[in-house]
Homo-oligomer: A and B are copies of this chain.
Amino acid sequence: MPSFHERLRRSWQQSGSLLCVGIDPDFERIPQQVAAADKPYLEFGKAIVEATAPYVCAFKPQAAHFAAAGREQELAELITFAQTNYPDIPVILDAKRGDVGSTAKLYAREAFERYNADAVTVSPYLGKDSLDPYFAFAERGIVVLCRTSNPGSDWLQNSPDNEPPTYLRVAKQISEWDVADQCMLVTGATYPDELAKVRAVVGNLPLLVPGVGAQGGSIKEVLRSGLDAHGTGLVISSSRAIIFADSGPDYAEAAAAAAEAAMNEINKFR
């Protein structure tokens, strides 16, 4: 089995895209005819996966949207659907787990056995032993929070009290811990200067970049700051701007068009 990084590289090459579609099925925004279905989260997710698959290098379903409604089973079925129909496109489960080792072992099993995700997002706050259970799944990906896209993240991740700032310590440390090509770092599009600093310390480590689209990050700035030496190295995630591009019956076609446009916009600056 190839490493997670190798799978990502193949996906970048085959798709010609750095775009990741985030599947955040906010029930209040799911189109009416889907909301009435027996498994609305699954139906919506499947339609988005099918519509956007030609334009993406990864899918990123977001766990809280399913969990808040008690719809974990639909999340599991959606991941199976994506992997069965698009086996070359990795599925990153966006769960942001983080707990001590004995419990992290259970969260790793949740992500990699129950959901069979190709990768999962996690927090660095508890340190190496809290990540070891994920590393134990040797060909799966571990996507560690580094510099998140939200406005409040400065306080801890980039405090002027800390030198070097915490996000850069995380970047450096994770790239050292990553001996089997498993790790990525979450670095928000809303902070392109810091994205560049992360890139400078991690070599070709792939970065997951949320914050374009609804959150306002500039694709041009992200590409300028974050591409690796091969002109790849980025998984640029957009959720709401794509999956809710239209709320009517043609939502899937609208999502496809939005994904294609985002892919092309990204490729303009590569």
Q: Which residues of A contact B (CB under 8 A)?
A: 24, 26, 62, 64-65, 67-70, 72-73, 76, 96-101, 103-104, 106-107, 109-110, 113-114, 123-130, 145, 148-157, 159, 161-164, 166, 169-170, 173, 210
Contacts of A109 in B (CB 8 A): 68
Contact A68 to B155, CB < 8 A, known contacts A125-B125, A130-B150, A150-B126: no
Q: Which residues of B contact A148 (CB under 8 A)?
A: 100, 125-126
Given A101-B150, A125-B156, CB of A73 within 8 Å of CB of B73: no
A186 CB to closest chain B CB (Å) equals 10
Check B106 against A67 for contact (C-beta < 8 Å): yes
Name the one of B107, B110, B169 contacting A161, with C-beta atoms under 8 angstroms: B169
Chain B, residue nearest A170 (CB): B156
Contact partners of A125 in chain B: CB under 8 A? 98, 123-125, 145, 148, 153, 156-157
Please name 22 pairs of A and B residues whose Cβ atoms are closer than 8 Å in the assembled complex, sorted by A.
A64-B103, A64-B106, A68-B106, A68-B110, A98-B145, A100-B148, A100-B149, A101-B150, A125-B153, A126-B150, A127-B150, A127-B153, A127-B157, A128-B155, A129-B151, A129-B152, A130-B150, A155-B173, A159-B169, A161-B162, A161-B164, A166-B166
Distance between A253 CB and nearest chain B CB, rounded to angstroms: 25
* Candidate in A26, A106, A170 with the most chain B CB atoms within 10 angstroms: A106
